[in-house]
Amino acid sequence: MGSIEGKVALVTGAGSGIGEAVARRLDAEGARVAALDVDSTGAELTAGLLRQGMAVVADVADSAQVDEAVRTVVETYGRLDILVNNAGIRGGQEADDAFDRLASRLTEAGMGTPTTELNATVNISDEAWHRMLDVHLGGTFYCTRAALRHMGAGSVIVNVSSICGLTGCAHIPHYSAAKAGIEGFTRAVARDVAPRGIRVNCVAPGYIDTPLGDVMAPVVRRDLTGQIALNRFGQPAEIAGAVAFLVGPDGTYVTGQTLSPNGGFVMS
């Protein structure tokens, strides 16, 4: 039997990358997993990889869609024990442009003195700012609120942040702000629901090989890899392992914490 045999888990952003890896790991540990994604194809593909899972489609930035998705899971399985808030976006054109300017700066630095300015903050529109916070921070809140209506003692919530939430990433300040907000939200909710026997923690991954990183220029990837003590990007399965620890029996005395599997990019 797995460590969470028979429990019901909802994983958001499960259509690819870290979310898919988490869904598959929790499935392997014995949970019945609902794979939620805004992309129906991704949700269905992940659900098809599970022994006992279902696909759920919703935009986590829409509270009504979230409430309906959680109700569907509870009506299907009769309970909800685990929530993993993983859904997120990397940003739109403003993020792509900032990554391009970062690549230019690194290339220039290799030849002497960088002259390209990042200008990341001034190039974020109101729309881009609100969309980033709506998906990451708003989505985490909406899913947490909906799940807590059905959770009992022994339930667990794991929120996915980022090292950008810990240190701030100059090229994506709106992403960094959203992720830092998730960490503060995690601590507050952990205190709120501890009397109910519910634990809430956060995982803040470092640089991981996922589709979100496909647009990263080689010079940026080389620079980041050089700053990682283990000298490599992480794998989604390694983040899934951290989540499995937090939701399983070995993590029962852990709440309100941020665990950061980042290969030594950030140390404390």
Specify whether the CB–CB gap between 135 and 60 falls below 8 A.
Answer: yes
Q: For residue 52, what pLDDT is reported?
A: 85
Q: Is 26 exposed, middle or buried (0-12, 13-18, 19+ CB in 10 A)?
A: buried
Mean pLDDT across the chain: 95
> What's the domain range around 208?
8-259
- For the chain, the C-alpha Rg in angstroms (whole number) is 18
Give the tens place of pLDDT for each residue, 17-65.
999 999 999 999 999 999 999 999 999 999 999 998 999 999 999 999 9
Give the tens place of pLDDT for each residue, 82-107.
999 999 998 899 998 998 999 999 99
Which H, E and C letters describe the chain, residue by residue? Answer: CCCCCCCEEEEECCCCHHHHHHHHHHHHCCCEEEEEECCHHHHHHHHHCCCCEEEEECCCCCHHHHHHHHHHHHHHHCCCCEEEECCCCCCCHHHHHHHHHHHHHHHHHHHCCCCCCCCCCCCCCHHHHHHHHHHHHHHHHHHHHHHHCCCCCCCEEEEECCHHHHHCCCCCHHHHHHHHHHHHHHHHHHHHHHHHCCEEEEECCCCECCHHHCCCCHHHHHHHHHCCCCCCCECHHHHHHHHHHHHCHHHCCCCCCEECCCCCCCCC
Note whether residue 266 is domain-resident.
Answer: no
Using CA atoms, how far apart are residues 60 and 72, in angstroms rounded to an integer? 14
Q: For residue 1, what pLDDT is reported?
A: 52
Two structure tokens written together for 67 = 């409430």
Specify whether the CB–CB gap between 11 and 58 falls below 8 A.
Answer: no
Note whether residue 143 is domain-resident.
Answer: yes
Mean pLDDT for 134-163 is 98
* Number of other residues whose CB lies within 10 A of the CB of residue 142: 25
Residue linked to tokens 């300017």:
101
Amino acid at 66: V
Note whether residue 267 is domain-resident.
Answer: no
Report the CATH number that the domain containing residue 81 is assigned in CATH. 3.40.50.720
Domain count, the chain: 1
Specify whether the CB–CB gap between 149 and 160 falls below 8 A.
Answer: no
Give the tens place of pLDDT for each residue, 206-251.
999 987 667 788 999 999 999 999 999 999 999 999 999 999 999 9
Q: Taking the complete model, does pTM exceed 0.85, yes or no? A: yes
Note whether residue 58 is domain-resident.
Answer: yes
Note whether residue 218 is domain-resident.
Answer: yes
Note whether residue 1 is domain-resident.
Answer: no
Give the catalytic positions in this structure.
175
Note whether residue 154 is domain-resident.
Answer: yes
Closest CA to 46 of 13, 74, 6, 7: 13
Note whether residue 201 is domain-resident.
Answer: yes
